[in-house]
Amino acid sequence: MRHRVHGRKLGRPTPHRKAMLRSLCTSLLEHERITTTVQKAKETRPLAEKMITLAKRDTLHARRQAAAFLLKAEVVKKLFATIGARFANRKGGYTRIIKLGYREGDGADLAILELLGSELSVKKAEKSAAEKAKKEKKKDEKGKGSMTQKVSSRIKSVLGGGKKEDEAEKPKAKKEEAEGPAGE
């Protein structure tokens, strides 16, 4: 029986497992979204939530505890500056696990582990990219439209109107038909 036995060994010795979970937690807080296996995501989630709870406390002691666990100083700064403030009114449940399916190589069950609210930044980035593309298309279309209008107005001014243009093309076409192909 495995009463009161929690945690997964993840097929690694204890120091390797602890280092891997610290690294995953640091990456999650840095990028706000990581793709990993479901088991690793489930083991990383409580560690990340503890770090966010420390950030909500925002004391020197909490900052030092987070710095001792996380691997990058920039991530500690980001944690206390932005992430802690984002979840200030939330009592828990700062992360979400989304199952993706199976990895092709070894069949491992994959998942996305993300902070709540990070999907908004992704959607905003996609939306802004789409808006930029639309604006560029409109500029290109306007540029082409205005250029074609300029060219057509120049042609009309040179030929003296639209009717003379049609009449000038008809005799040329008749002369070319009468002469036959130029190669013979």
> Averaged over 142-171, what is the pLDDT?
62
pLDDT at position 128: 77
From the list 102, 99, 119, 101, the residue with the least C-alpha distance to 111 is 99
Q: pTM for the whole thing? A: 0.66
- Mean pLDDT for the chain overall: 85
pLDDT at position 171: 57
How large a percentage of the chain has pLDDT more than 90?
62
Q: How confident is the model at residue 167 (pLDDT cuts 50, 70, 90)?
A: low
pLDDT at position 107: 96
- Whether residue 144 is predicted with pLDDT greater than 60 in this model: the reply is no
Q: How confident is the model at residue 88 (pLDDT cuts 50, 70, 90)?
A: very high
Place of tokens 């009449």: 167
Strand pairing partners for 33? 114
pLDDT at position 71: 97
Cα–Cα distance, 18 to 14 (Å, whole number): 6
Pair 41, 97: CB distance under 8 Å: yes
Q: For residue 179, what are the CA distances in angstroms to 9, 10, 83, 157, 168?
A: 91, 87, 81, 31, 18
Strands 95-102, 109-115: pairing kind? antiparallel
pLDDT in tens, 39-57: 999 999 999 999 999 999 9
Question: Cα-flanking dihedrals φ and ψ of residue 89, to 5°?
Answer: -95, 0
**Helices 118-159 and 162-179: angle between axes, nearest 10 degrees:** 80
pLDDT in tens, 103-143: 999 999 999 999 998 776 666 777 777 787 777 777 666 65
Question: What is the sign of the dihedral through the CA atoms of 17, 18, 19 and 22?
Answer: positive
Cα–Cα distance, 31 to 182 (Å, whole number): 69
Q: Which CATH number does 14-116 carry?
A: 3.90.1030.10
Cα–Cα distance, 162 to 177 (Å, whole number): 23
Cα–Cα distance, 91 to 182 (Å, whole number): 86
